[in-house]
Amino acid sequence: MYKCIDCGNTEKFIGFAEEKGNAYIYQDCINKSNTNCSWIYIISDSNSNWKSNINIYRCFYCNSTRIIEFNKK
């Protein structure tokens, strides 16, 4: 988990997220001529090749870059 040192926020941050691996990908468009589509992907529990990476840049609320990572118990 992450926490902003300046305002105490623990819920919403601005950053970069990346995920890679094998997945089933589904597309849903409102109509066939519409280019605005939504996407969903599903991975299986047995997918040991799934990789993810998260980089937190700043707090969404106060814009501080003073962010710490901690384990919530």
pTM of the model: 0.61
Burial (0-12, 13-18, 19+ Cβ within 10 Å), 34 = exposed
8 A C-beta contact, residue 8 and residue 1? no
Number of structural domains in the chain: 1
Regions of the chain with pLDDT less than 50: none
pLDDT in the model for residue 16? 95
In the prediction, which pLDDT does 31 show?
A: 65
pLDDT for the residue 33: 66
Per-residue pLDDT reduced to its tens digit, 55-73: 999 999 999 999 999 886 6
Longest Cα–Cα distance of the chain, Å, equals 49
- Kind of pairing between the strands at 67-69 and 2-4: antiparallel
Question: Where are the strands (E) in the chain, listed by range?
Answer: 2-4, 13-20, 24-29, 37-42, 51-59, 67-69
Per-residue model confidence (pLDDT) at position 4: 97
Look up the domain containing 9 and give its range.
2-69
